Amino acid sequence: MPDDLLRYRSEFPILEKTTYLISNSLGAMPRGVYDSLREYADLWTTRGVRAWEEKWWMLAAEVGDAIGVLMNAPPGSVSTHQNVTLCQAIVASCFDFSGRRNKVVYDDLNFPSVMYFWEAQRSRGARVHMVKTDDGIHVPTERLLDAIDEETLLVPVSHVIFRSAYLQDANAIIEKAHRVGALVVLDTFQSLGTVPVDVQALGAHFATGGVLKWLCGGPGVGYLYVRPDLGTKLEPKLTGWMAHQEPFAFETGPTRYTSPPYRFMNGTPHVPALYATQPGLKIIHEVGVERIREKSKRQTARLIAMADARGWRVNTPRDPERRGGTVSIDMPNSQEVCGELLKRDILVDWRPRAGVRFSPHFYNKDEELESAIAAVEHILSGMRASVASRES
């Protein structure tokens, strides 16, 4: 069957020169980014400081809305920031950890940067409870649900686990949190753009993520969704003049919070990154996450089948409904194999306790998966031959 999504390949120059299987880390750059950044420079050159009122001040909210559409977030509920760690810090700054409800529950497959942040909140009174995995691929949902209790304040968990691509049962986690009065911070970095996300259907309290992976939006833009009823009440202490009702009044004294999404912002925004991010978002909107997901399930299944046929260990769920867009394969000498693949312009990465991560996106051909796996076989047979010659 012809693959209709391959017509987007011409939008991504790097696909001409490499086998690009690393969208779990950095999505390919759309060629439209050149024009977008030129537009930014032209506006700065021609309009100077007037660019703020004509475009730049509003851009953080505009880009937030464009990201929001992808997760069915209502307009005005998504603010943009530099990264996920900062987004979660803004959430944390809305709460006080000195009371009885001060428990923060997550699992040890959470993204480390986020865990470093939450661990550091112990000094503010947070009681961090980390639920452990047995197999390095997933944490049993029941185990996580059992840890979420009446003393739990926040549950910052990944929707899709970065190491294994395990798709957590966000419904069950949010439902349990809701029952006991806890709030979930769903990190959709590894899901949005490759797995359908609907924050309203989920009833998510908060969602965070970034655009540089599956949304092909480049580094420098993280997003924070706050459920609208919470958004009008919460008062982030990590704040600044963008969150003020009248930033240009330059008042002294305590802030007067404005409405979301600016309520959750702080200082001067990351304008160039907000420009660079737009062409990728436009393409993802046009392609549609449903079509991306359909292709992703098929291509990840193909990768798993090829690894199985060669007897390599797969550290990714086999059930397509519980799997995101990556397949982690721990073949022998996987770290060295990864280095060799990179030398051959087959772009993948390696993570401890995961192996080599292969992440096809809508722009990848099936033949690229086959040639990447054939290259691994070739590298391994070269390694075996050199060991044999040393031993003889």
Ligand X SMILES: Cc1ncc(COP(=O)(O)O)c(C=O)c1O
Cβ proximity of 224 and 208 under 8 Å:
yes
Q: Which of 162, 166, 206, 257 binds ligand X (CB under 6 A)?
A: 162
Residues 142-161 that bind ligand X (CB under 6 A): 158
CB 295 within 8 A of CB 84: no
Distance in Å, CB of 136 to ligand X, minimum: 15
Sole window of 66-74, 183-191, 317-325, 375-383 interacting with ligand X (rule: CB under 6 A)? 183-191
Work out the angle at residue 183's Cα, subtended by the Cα atoms of residues 179 and 188, and round it to the nearest 5 degrees.
120
DSSP 238: S
Q: Which of 56, 166, 189, 225 binds ligand X (CB under 6 A)?
A: 189
Task: State the minimum distance, in angstroms, from the CB of residue 84 to ligand X.
Answer: 4
Part in contact with ligand X (CB under 6 A); list of ranges 173-181, 186-194, 234-242, 243-251: 186-194
Q: Is 10 in the site for ligand X (CB under 6 A)?
A: no
CB of 273 to ligand X, least distance (A): 12
**140, two tokens:** 């049993």
Q: How far is CA 68 from each of CA 79, 84, 208, 378, rounded to the nearest angstrom? A: 9, 15, 11, 44
Write the Ramachandran bin of 196: left for phi over 0, alpha for psi from -120 to 50, otherwise beta: beta
Among positions 211-270, residues that touch ligand X (CB under 6 A) are 222
Which residues between 106 and 125 bind ligand X (CB under 6 A)?
111, 113-114
276 class by beta-carbon count within 10 Å (0-12 exposed, 13-18 middle, 19+ buried): buried
Provide, rounded to whole angstroms, the least separation between the CB of residue 111 and ligand X.
3
Residues in 66-85 at the binding interface with ligand X, rule: CB under 6 A: 83-85
Cβ atoms of 358 and 312 within 8 Å: the answer is no
Place of tokens 């459920």: 227
DSSP string across 249-314: G---SS--B--TTGGG--SS--HHHHHHTHHHHHHHHHH-HHHHHHHHHHHHHHHHHHHHHTT-EE
Nearer to ligand X, 97 or 189 (CB): 189
The nearer residue to ligand X, 102 or 190, going by C-beta atoms, is 190
Among 190, 278, 296, 315, binds ligand X (CB under 6 A): 190
Instruction: Give the binding site for ligand X (CB under 6 A).
Output: 83-85, 111, 113-114, 158, 162, 187, 189-190, 210, 222
